[in-house]
Amino acid sequence: MTGWLCIAGLGPGDEHLITPEVSAALAAATDVVGYIPYVARIAPRDGLTLHPSDNRVELDRARAALTMAAEGHKVVVVSSGDPGVFAMAAAVFEALERQPAWQALDIRVLPGITAMLAAAAKAGAPLGHDFCAINLSDNLKPAALIEARVRAAAGADFAMAFYNPRSASRSETFGRILEVLRQQCGPERLVIFARAVSTPEEAIHTVALRDATPEMADMRTVVIVGNAATRRVGRFVYTPRSALPAAPP
């Protein structure tokens, strides 16, 4: 039996947002590896072993998956959203870098609908012009670097999507970022808090930066900050395609 490893994105939650490519890989797999709530999304079946593991053990999980693939298993590592955006793909390549013998394995990354795109679609089109994606978790980078990137992005008038804005263990980073944004973007800038997009717990709220508080976000929230031109139209929020003044209607 020839083993393989797919690092697959399950999208934000709704089964209808899982690509057929990912569904086919899951149907062919012998083993599914991932963080507990993502593995819980996979239906059990004969011939499939589920390997849920806790958060913050990404490198161990990647090694375990690569070991099984090297032994001939057909392994899918599952991430929420897209595996290449603040998710498992980078961890697998880190493990691969430390163990060159695994580099000959059949390894593929299968893209998925990442949270910011699902959130943007529900809100309208807030990422319709140039934008940045920034992980606000300071597990793996200093808070000063996060702040410097937010300043650079706001200074160049990018729209921004923030992943992992807030957890119990670091309640201050996001509050500080909101302060920086208020200084640079002014109180009227629109901010979208999109929680648990495409799940039964979905909640999407748009507020002016003046009214944004850290408590509006948790680890299931993606936060989108518009650029200077982002505005409401009816129940939607969108960023026009043009950085030039609007043409007359």
Q: Which of residues 137-156 bind a second copy (CB under 8 A)?
A: 140-142, 145, 148-149, 151-153, 155-156
Nearer to a second copy, 14 or 202 (CB): 14
* Residue (122 or 182) nearer to a second copy, CB: 122
Residue 41 contacts a second copy per CB under 8 A: no
Query: Distance between CA atoms of 85 and 115, rounded to whole angstroms?
Result: 9
| AA letter at 148 | A
By CB under 8 A, what part of segment 91-110 binds a second copy?
A: 91-94, 96-98, 100, 103-104, 107-110
Tokens of 73: 């298993």
Q: What is the smallest separation between the CB atom of 64 and a second copy, expressed in angstroms?
A: 16
In residues, how long is the chain? 249
Q: Which is nearer to a second copy, 64 or 132 (CB)?
A: 132
**From 68, 76, 117, 209, residue interacting with a second copy (rule: CB under 8 A):** 117
Q: Using the rule CB under 8 A, is 185 a contact of a second copy?
A: no
By CB under 8 A, residue 219 contacts a second copy: no
CA distances from residue 178 to 149, 167, 203 in whole angstroms, order as listed: 13, 15, 20
**Contacts with a second copy in 53-72 (CB under 8 A)?**
58
The region that residue 34 occupies, defined by phi over 0 for left and psi between -120 and 50 for alpha, beta otherwise, is left
User: Considering only 131-139, 164-172, 173-181, 214-222, which stretch makes contact with a second copy by CB under 8 A?
Assistant: 131-139
SS (H, E, C) 99-151: CHHHHHCEEEEECCCCHHHHHHHHHEECCCCCEEEEECCCCCCCHHHHHHHHH
Query: How many other C-beta atoms lie within 10 A of the C-beta of residue 205?
Result: 14
Residues 74-93, interacting with a second copy (CB under 8 A): 82-86, 89-93
Q: How far is the CB of 139 from a second copy (least distance, A)?
A: 9
Within 8 A by CB and 6+ apart from 47, the residues are 30
Least distance CB 175 / a second copy (angstroms) = 20
